[in-house]
Amino acid sequence: MSVQFCCLAKHPGEVLPVVPTFLHYTPRLPTMAHALTGAHVVLGSESEAAAATLLDGGAQRVFVGEAALRDGGAAERLLKRFGAARIGLHVPVQRQAVSWSFETESNADFRVVTPSLCEPTWEVLHANGESSGVRAQAWVDTMVALGIQTVLMRADICDDTDLNLCAGMVEALGSKLWIAPLHDAAPPIADWIRYGQATQIALPIGLYQQRHALLPRNPSADTTPATTVAT
């Protein structure tokens, strides 16, 4: 399995020369032509108009975040104006909580406990970290059907269930999918690769610089790190 890495920078000061990088949006970025030109910018709560400004200003690609979650038409309009190669999707996710309810209508002699979910799933988070209730797989599938070609999904993958969900996303999206940690400062990248089938991973600068040490130890995993950002 060949694994590609890129850096996920918090601000332009973390961008290293010749290192493929996804750059989080900062308010000053639109005025920093040297940092913006050719950049892959990751948006959080910023609007459709902010995305258009960045693209007009020279950004190579913008990963639209909550703007597309609030209004599915935002992604469609940006795709139509700038083309699929320049519009990505930023999807922060977490495991959707399961609630339980009693069902007593069908038989008054029994109380049936019913879960809200039949199987585990990731849900999309708002930019402030709050739950949206939107199931990630279905929403991403809808956005890909509109023309999105690159998805940056940020998740804290911490157990077998998350690894299975990751593998399912990789199977569904293939080379369209980049995976990055959400908050975890020490994510188990070797497990992401071996069990979650992750092949394109974006890491904060500190983890990116030690990426070779994070690969699975087992030679049979056949991982070869690369550092090319899909364009």
Structure-token match 């699975």, residue found: 216
Residue 228 has pLDDT above 70, yes or no: no
pLDDT of 227 above 70: no
- The torsion defined by the Cα of 174, 205, 69 and 191, in degrees rounded to 10, comes to 40
pLDDT tens readout for residues 138-166: 999 999 999 999 999 999 998 999 999 99
Mean per-residue pLDDT for 108-113?
A: 52
Give the per-residue pLDDT at 103: 57
Instruction: At 27, list the tokens.
Output: 């308010």
Query: 196 pLDDT band (50/70/90 cuts)?
Result: very high
User: Of the candidates 19, 6, 160, which has an alpha carbon nearest to the alpha carbon of residue 88?
Assistant: 6
Selection from 22, 17, 18 nearest residue 6 by Cα: 22
45: left (phi over 0), alpha (psi -120 to 50) or beta: alpha
Using a 10 angstrom Cβ sphere, with 0-12 exposed, 13-18 middle and 19 or more buried, the burial of residue 169 is buried
Please tell me which residue, 123 or 226, carries the higher pLDDT value: 123
Count each helix (H run) and each strand (E run) in the chain, helices first.
Answer: 8, 13
pLDDT band for 111, please (50, 70, 90 cuts).
low
CATH ID of 2-226, from 1.10.1040.10, 3.20.20.70, 3.90.1150.10, 3.30.470.20: 3.20.20.70
What global pTM score does this model have? 0.88
Q: Which residue did the predictor score with more confidence, 189 or 226?
A: 189
Task: List pLDDT tens digits, range 71-92.
Answer: 989 999 999 999 999 999 999 9
CA atoms lying within 13 Å on the CB side of residue 92: 19
Question: Which SS3 state, helix, strand or coil, does residue 132 take?
Answer: strand
